[in-house]
Structure formats: C-alpha cells, structure tokens
Amino acid sequence: MNKFYKRFVLLISLVLIISGVVIYSTVDINTLKNLGEFKWWSIALAIFAVGLGLFFDGSRLMHLVKISNESITLYEAVQVIFGNYFLALLTPGATGGAVAQLMFLRHAGVPTGKAAVLVIVRTLLSIFFLACCMALILLHDNGIVPGISNTTLMVITLAALFGILFIVWGARRGFLDYFVIWLTRKFSNQKGRKIIAFYRDTKSAISLLLKSPRAMLLVFFESGLNLLCIYAIVPCLLLGLGVYDADWYSVMGRMIFLNMLLYFMPTPGGSGIAEGGFVLLFSNTVPAGTVGIIAVCWRLIAEYIPFLIGLYYTLTVFGRDFLNRQLTE
C-alpha cells in the first residue's frame, strides 16, 4: 500500500473514531426527541452558506493574483481552495495545504515565487481578520474559555495584533533582517536556508500587502465574508433544531475563536481538537443531547465534503503518482 492510500485510510479511520466517540459521549435521553424536530432545510441552508463562502474565497484569491500582476480564473481559484482542503486535512499540522496551493497556482500559470508569496498573504489576511474580531468578541462574551479570564485572552489577542504589526514594520524597515541572520546561525545550514527562504517570502508578502491598499482592502473584506459564511454553518444547524433565541453574536464569536485556534493545532485539519472544542464551547447553547451530532455535522459540511471534492480535483489534475510523490517528500 503506497503512502497516499495509507494516509487516506488513516484519516478516514481517525475521523470515524473521533466522530463516534464525540457522538457516543454526548447523546442522552433527549437526543431522539430533539432530532425528531430537526428541520432538514437547515442542511441546504448550511451548504448554501459554505458555497457562498467558497465563492468569496475564490474571488479574493483571484484578486490577490491580479495584484501580483498575474491572472487566474474563478474556476482555477476554486480548484486551489479545494486542493488546500484536501492536502491540509491529509497532512499533520495542515502543512500540505500550502503545498496544494502552490501546486494548483503553478498549474494555473502563476510563477512559483509569486505563488509562495500569495499563499502567505492569503493566510495572513485570514489570521489578521480573526484576531481583529477576537478583540470585539471578548468585550461581549464573558467566560468564553473556562478557567481563563477574558482580560487574559484580551491581552494575548492585543499582543498578537501588535506582534503582527511589529513584524510588518520591522520587515519593511529591514530591522528584522539582523535578527533572522542571527537566528539562522543557531541552526544547521539546511534549516538556516529554509528560514531565510521563508523570511524572504514573508517580506515579499508584506510588500504585496502594502502595494495596492485599496485593492488589498477589498481582498481583506472578501476574506472576512469568506470566513463568516463558513462559520455560519452552525447557526444554520441551530435554526434547524428550533433554536431561534440564541445569542448569535456569541455563537459566531465562539466559532471564530475555535477556528482561530485550529490554525495552530498539530493534528490533520484540527481533527479531534475541533470536535472537542465545539462540545466545550456550545454544550449550553444547543438542545440537550445534540451537541456532538452538531459538531460532527459541522465538520462534515465545512471540512470533509470539501476534502472529497479536493481529492477529485487533485487526482484529476495531477494524478495519483504525482500526489504520492508529494506525500513521500
């Protein structure tokens, strides 16, 4: 069995085990009663929200590529996004997502150097949007994380925001060059070269961010719409369960908080951590006995269906042999 099939079987097994454990540990005597009242149109509404989010994601990537003086179609941009879903979920720490984006962007005619920069910019915009939202969320939602005060979380959020701004300023002014050179001396030549290459791409990404402020503002706006539409899956499912009086600001805020954490989780696509975090954050919001089922439905619509579509596009465009080489390297 080659590496691709091993990774695929391992992922499917992991997803099934996690989903089973989450559902089994959260069902109770009220589960069947509450599910019996579920409105199935909410599934269609959730899928529509995902589709709209993917459209905005493709549109922002298309506009990003245009800022770099290259061009791709919306269809090619959507292929990049689905490829990202596929390899990000198939590899630890979602590291394969960046590889997939590079592969599809190069296939669309974007030079490798520019493609690497675009991947960094796309990620930075998403993280910066989420960090900005977190500051507003923490002012409204008290006790979002049990045992950690909102003041502590606010300090961490503001420190992250200022840290991002400092990196942008330092890289732009060249002050960070000295630190990076000093840092590379602490590692082997091979790792040092990788650090230098990543820093070079990051500087290029920052230059691209500042190149066309108006166009980049549109891309930032599209980034926000993309993420909010994807996170709207949970409110759609809650409506299906008859939850009409929830604090929707807090619901979306907790989805933003959870998904921001998933950017930094080591498991493939945040598997296990996503479902566990969802149960922790929403156990008091959803009807009794359904929080685990809603968590699995959220992951199915937001991650696993796009993963399968990404599998189709990746195999269609590159073939199994090429994919297996990428996973082996």
**Averaged in consecutive runs of 10 residues, what is the pLDDT profile of the chain (329 residues)?**
73 89 90 88 95 95 91 94 89 77 91 87 87 84 77 84 82 80 79 80 78 87 95 94 88 90 78 89 87 94 93 85 59
Give the span between the Cα atoms of 314 and 79, in whole angstroms. 8
- What is d(CA 273, CA 278) in angstroms, rounded to the nearest whole number? 8
Determine the pLDDT at residue 325.
61
- What does the block give as tokens for 326? 């990428």
Task: Give the pLDDT score at 131.
Answer: 85
CA dihedral 175, 179, 185, 187 (to 10 degrees): -130
pLDDT of 34 reads: 85
**Is 49 within 8 Å of 229 (Cβ atoms)?**
yes
CB contact at 8 A, 30 and 289: yes
Cα 196 to Cα 200: distance, rounded to the nearest angstrom: 6
Helices within 109-232 (DSSP H only): 112-140, 150-173, 175-184, 189-211, 213-231
The pLDDT value given to residue 207: 79
Burial class (CB in 10 A: 0-12, 13-18, 19+), 278: buried
